[in-house]
Amino acid sequence: MITMKEIGRLAGVSQSTVSMIINGKAEQFNLSRDTQDRVLRIARENGFRPNHIARSMRTGRTGIVGILVSAENMRQIVNNYDSGGAAMRLQAGFLLAGSRVMLETVSLEDCRALRMPDLASNGLAEFIIVSQNFADEELGRRYLEMLRERFGKVVLVEDVVADDNVPTIAIDNERAGRDAADYLWRLGHRSFGTVCNAACRSAHGLRLAGFRERIRELSGGSIEVVSAFAGDRWQLDCGAEGVSCLLELTGGRLPSAIFATNDFFAYGAELELLRRGFRLPEDTSLLGVGEWPVAATAPVPISVIAMDTDEEMETVLGLWRQYQAGKVPECRKFRLVGKLCERKSTAGKGVGNE
């Protein structure tokens, strides 16, 4: 493989200049764009790969960002890359920012045994992003706490569990529920059901509370939201079981609008509604919360309240920069306002048709 010295000879610059460019310090030393482009082109054409291991031994820093993903999520990614959601988005964001990224899976057994990921235990990663749904919230909380104690530089995205000691970037859950209620109310809906799994997580509880409270305010307390809790797993069929439970609670009369606590359950609910012969949005409007890409490609694309992914990425990168500068983030909770992604699963309904 070509060396930096050989690249310098071909580019007509010194080895130290090549090193500055390869290590991202060109701007710091006022190297011209033409010089940078020439060096990088020669390096690329000759298959140059920096020796990150040797560099980390010299500096004590690897510059690697580690992203922890659940084994279940990784299986989804293998079957359908578009389902990667936050993990793939974060990976792409850091790669575009010039950082190196490594993914590692964490299984339920890893959580039970409090087995630390290799990225943290061997010091390979400088910064750990936890982007996964722990199968058990309490296990996940203990795992996060140990990861923080052992490693320190940890950030949690998407509120998979509640932990006040780990910086968390997530949608404002209560606000998301209230925004969902406002949107469905503006469409003219006046009968509402909600779907959540029986192992209702803290984030989902806040979404439900915000939705119910806002409907109470809008209706002056005259409308009661029917809430279905079904399935104690984190699988699509929880949404399907939620629909069955909701129909039992309403005597088979489908609410005009259904709010699912995330897009994953909304997808499962949609499949069950379609299986039973209901039409979306003619018979009921369906709304979820989240950024799962597959929700947009459902048989009837699902409307969602989603986190602003640009803001999410910039917040994560901001924390990374603070850690790189040796600073401890002062803010521990980053609550991002959601935005409505209106698709075909929701539509207006006149009050007189209720």
pLDDT digits (tens, 9 = 90+) for 290-307: 888 889 999 999 999 998
Instruction: State how far the Cα of 82 lies from the Cα of 192, in Å rounded to an integer.
Output: 31
Q: Are residues 178 and 301 in the same domain?
A: yes
The two three-digit tokens of residue 216, written as one number? 């109470």
Q: Return the pLDDT at 303.
A: 97
Residue 24 lies in a domain: yes
For residue 80, CA distances in Å to 74, 84, 293, 302 come to 10, 8, 10, 18
Residue that wins the pLDDT comparison between 352 and 197: 197
Q: Are residues 282 and 224 in the same domain?
A: yes
3-state secondary structure of 146: helix
Q: Has residue 73 got a pLDDT over 70?
A: no
Strand segments, DSSP code E, in the chain are 64-70, 100-106, 127-130, 154-157, 168-171, 192-196, 226-229, 257-260, 285-289, 303-307, 333-336, 338-341
Q: Assign 58 a pLDDT band (cuts: 50, 70, 90).
A: very low
Q: Return the pLDDT at 217.
A: 97
Taking alpha carbons only, the member of 181, 188, 182, 180 closest to residue 347 is 188
Of 32-36, 41-45, 158-162, 281-285, give the range with the top mean pLDDT: 281-285
Number of domains in the chain: 3
Instruction: State how far the Cα of 67 lies from the Cα of 77, in Å rounded to an integer.
Output: 14
Q: Has residue 177 got a pLDDT over 90?
A: yes
Rg (CA), the chain: 24
Taking alpha carbons only, the member of 137, 138, 78 closest to residue 103 is 78
Q: Give mean pLDDT, residues 205-210.
A: 94
Q: Has residue 56 got a pLDDT over 70?
A: no
Q: Has residue 344 got a pLDDT over 90?
A: yes
Residue 225 lies in a domain: yes
Q: Are residues 212 and 347 in the same domain?
A: yes
Of 10-14, 65-69, 160-164, 174-178, give the range with the top mean pLDDT: 174-178
The two three-digit tokens of residue 337, written as one number? 């306002």
Residue 55 lies in a domain: no
Residue 236 lies in a domain: yes
Q: Has residue 266 got a pLDDT over 80?
A: yes
Q: Are residues 109 and 243 in the same domain?
A: no
pLDDT digits (tens, 9 = 90+) for 228-259: 998 877 777 889 999 999 999 999 999 999 99
Pairing between β-strand 257-260 and β-strand 100-106 as defined by DSSP bridges:
unpaired
What CATH number should be reported for the domain holding residue 177?
A: 3.40.50.2300
Q: Return the pLDDT at 40.
A: 83
Structural contact between residues 199 and 207, judged by C-beta atoms closer than 8 angstroms: no
Taking alpha carbons only, the member of 320, 268, 290 closest to residue 95 is 320
For residue 135, CA distances in Å to 68, 90, 97, 199, 235 come to 14, 21, 31, 10, 10
For the chain, what percent of residues have pLDDT higher than 90?
35
Q: Give mean pLDDT, residues 58-64.
A: 59
Taking alpha carbons only, the member of 317, 307, 305 closest to residue 343 is 305
Which residues constitute the domain of residue 255? 173-306+340-353
Q: Are residues 232 and 345 in the same domain?
A: yes
3-state secondary structure of 249: helix
Structural contact between residues 256 and 354, judged by C-beta atoms closer than 8 angstroms: yes
Q: Has residue 59 got a pLDDT over 50?
A: no
Q: Assign 26 a pLDDT band (cuts: 50, 70, 90).
A: confident
Q: Assign 353 a pLDDT band (cuts: 50, 70, 90).
A: very low
Structural contact between residues 117 and 104, judged by C-beta atoms closer than 8 angstroms: yes
Q: Give mean pLDDT, residues 211-226.
A: 96
Q: Are residues 120 and 165 in the same domain?
A: yes
* Per-chain mean pLDDT for the chain: 83
Q: Are residues 197 and 247 in the same domain?
A: yes
Residue 258 lies in a domain: yes
Residue 230 lies in a domain: yes
Q: Has residue 91 got a pLDDT over 80?
A: yes
Q: Are residues 210 and 196 in the same domain?
A: yes
- For residue 134, the 8-state DSSP code is -
Q: Are residues 324 and 195 in the same domain?
A: no
Q: What's the pTM?
A: 0.74
Q: Are residues 69 and 143 in the same domain?
A: yes
Q: Are residues 26 and 92 in the same domain?
A: no
Q: Are residues 346 and 213 in the same domain?
A: yes
* Type of residue at 140: G
Instruction: State how far the Cα of 4 lies from the Cα of 1, in Å rounded to an integer.
Output: 10
